């Protein structure tokens, strides 16, 4: 996982960078005269990074989207439990003295299976096949056709919800790392202007101070800062 290269908050960095872009409307020529690499291309790159970071929205959006997929999984787990409890009644009625068949349907072990999302996904996928294997006996015992027909679709719904959740977990990691990289890139731009400002405005402390990083320090940001992992 990438680490952020600045010690203050993301929001503070964005405001700091945005302030620099504003100051450069008046000061850009002075920076270009000192170092041509500090011209409009670099300034525009800062603006684009700020826009990207603001539009991307940060990990809060990822957390919200992951929460949505998790809620879907929870709902499908509930639906699966309701469906199974109804099916169990007919399994016991159809096979009162066949414990092995009952166990194949999960009787006596479903409670433990239902505590695990992964176990439920696997169990329900197999349950649909078991229902088809014993459908004739279940229908003969009076099990509703609609109930038996609902097992496979419910298994698929839970599988789909589980896959969507896992996909979002993976994409959250990728999205978060990309955001950290963009923030670090933006931070480096601010460092470049701040470092140059020490010389561009050596005879104007007020102008120089406008490019200082958001801290209590009055020294130029010339040395790499201690890095920390972005939460």
Render the burial of 185-199: b for 16+ CB within 10 Å, e for the rest: ebbebbbbbbbbbee
| Rounded Cα gap, residues 123 and 117, in angstroms | 10
SS (H, E, C) the chain: CCEECCCCCHHHHHHHHHHHHHHHHHHHHHHHHHCHHHCHHHHHHHHHHHHHHHHHCCHHHHHHHHHHHHHHHHHHHHHHHHHHHHHHHHHHHHCCCCHHHHHHCCCCCHHHHCCCHHHHHHHHHHHHHHHHHCHHHHHHCCCCHHHHHHHHHHHHHHHHHHHHHHHHHHHHHHHHHHHHHHHHHHHHHHHHHHHHHHHHCCCCHHHHHCCCCCCCCCCCCCCCCCCEECC
Rounded Cα–Cα distance for residues 38 and 221 (Å): 16
Task: Report the C-alpha gap between 120 and 104 in whole angstroms.
Answer: 14
The confidence score (pLDDT) of residue 69 equals: 58
Q: What is the pLDDT along the chain (231 residues), one digit of tens a residue?
A: 568 888 888 888 888 998 999 999 999 999 999 999 999 999 999 999 988 888 776 544 444 444 555 677 788 888 888 999 999 999 999 999 899 999 989 898 888 887 777 888 888 888 989 999 999 999 999 999 999 999 999 998 888 888 777 776 554 444 577 888 889 999 999 999 999 999 999 999 999 999 999 874 433 344 444 444 444
CA–CA distance, 116 with 77 (Å, rounded to integer): 10
Asked if residues 117 and 77 have their Cβ atoms less than 8 Å apart, the reply is: yes
117-158 pLDDT, tens digit per residue, is 788 888 888 898 999 999 999 999 999 999 999 999 999 888
pLDDT, one tens digit per residue, over 32-47 is 999 999 999 999 999 9
Where are the chain's structural domains? 71-170
Look at residue 87 in the predicted model and tell me its pLDDT. Answer: 94
- What is the predicted pLDDT for the residue at 218? 38
pTM, rounded to two decimals: 0.47
Task: Indicate the pairing of strand 3-4 with strand 228-229.
Answer: antiparallel
């Amino acid at each position: 996982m990438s680490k952020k290269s600045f010690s203050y908050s993301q929001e503070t960095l964005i405001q700091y960078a945005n302030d620099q872009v504003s100051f450069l409307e008046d000061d850009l020529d002075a920076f270009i005269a000192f170092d041509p690499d500090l011209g409009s291309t670099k300034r525009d790159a800062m603006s684009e990074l700020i826009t990207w970071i603001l539009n991307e929205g940060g990990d809060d959006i990822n957390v919200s989207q992951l929460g949505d997929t998790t809620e879907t999984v929870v709902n499908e787990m509930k639906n699966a439990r309701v469906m199974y409890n109804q099916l169990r009644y007919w399994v016991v009625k159809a096979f009162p003295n066949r414990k092995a068949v009952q166990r194949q349907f999960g009787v006596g072990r479903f409670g433990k299976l239902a505590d695990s999302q992964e176990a439920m996904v696997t169990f329900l996928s197999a349950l649909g096949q078991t229902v088809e294997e014993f459908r004739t006996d279940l229908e003969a015992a009076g099990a509703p056709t609609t109930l038996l027909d609902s097992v496979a679709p419910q298994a698929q719904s839970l599988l789909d919800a589980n896959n969507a959740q896992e996909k979002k977990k993976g994409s959250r990691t990728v999205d978060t790392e990309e955001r950290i990289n963009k923030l670090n890139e933006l931070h480096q731009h601010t460092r470049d202007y701040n470092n140059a400002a020490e010389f561009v405005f050596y005879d104007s402390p007020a102008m120089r101070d406008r490019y200082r990083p958001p801290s209590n320090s009055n020294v130029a940001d010339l040395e790499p800062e201690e890095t920390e992992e972005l939460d």
